[in-house]
Amino acid sequence: QLLLHESGPGVVKPSETLSLTCTVSGGSLSVGSNYYWVWLRQPPGKGLQWIGTVFDSETTDYNASLQSRVTISLDSPKNQFSLNLASVTATDTAVYYCARLEYRSFVFDLWGQGTLVTVSA
């Protein structure tokens, strides 16, 4: 059974970079299949926002509203993918989820449990 697990600091200072890693266990983070890898977030008590998708080591797609600050990268040998979000402010406080995108139906079919990141001095 494939499992996703987010890890990283729970608190980040304003203007700094938020960095999270998603580790995939119980299977392969295989490139070139119908599955790709995404980051999403959910501010406390609010709705869901897609941050971006990584397709392979060179191909990504980002939410236009975050594009100038976001980098998502893939480390297939380690079965990990990562999120960097630069110049954070309090509005970036959220639960961050990594998930799998099934690319035929465009659904997020597997999710990590999420990790709360608070932006605070």
Q: Candidates 10-18, 21-29, 57-65, 76-84 — which segment interacts with another protein by CB under 8 A?
A: 57-65
- Site for another protein contains 55 (CB under 8 A): no
Q: Partners of 28 in the beta sheet?
A: none
Q: Rounded to an integer, what distance in angstroms lies between the CA atom of residue 54 and that of residue 61?
A: 7
Q: Examine residue 107 and tell whether it contacts another protein (CB under 8 A).
A: yes
Interaction between residue 35 and another protein (CB under 8 A): no
Q: How many helices (H) and strands (E) does the chain have?
A: 0, 11
Could you tell me which stretch among 17-25, 75-83, 86-94, 108-116 binds another protein (CB under 8 A)?
Answer: 108-116
- Dist CA 45 CA 27 (whole Å): 32
Confirm or reject binding of residue 112 to another protein (CB under 8 A). yes
Enumerate residues 6+ apart whose C-beta is below 8 A from 93.
43, 44, 117, 118, 119, 120
The distance in angstroms from the start CA to the end CA of the chain is 39
- List 35, 37, 39, 97, residue binding another protein (CB under 8 A): 97
| Contact status: 44 vs another protein (CB under 8 A) | no
Binding site for another protein (CB under 8 A): 38, 46-50, 61, 63-64, 97, 99, 105-109, 111-114
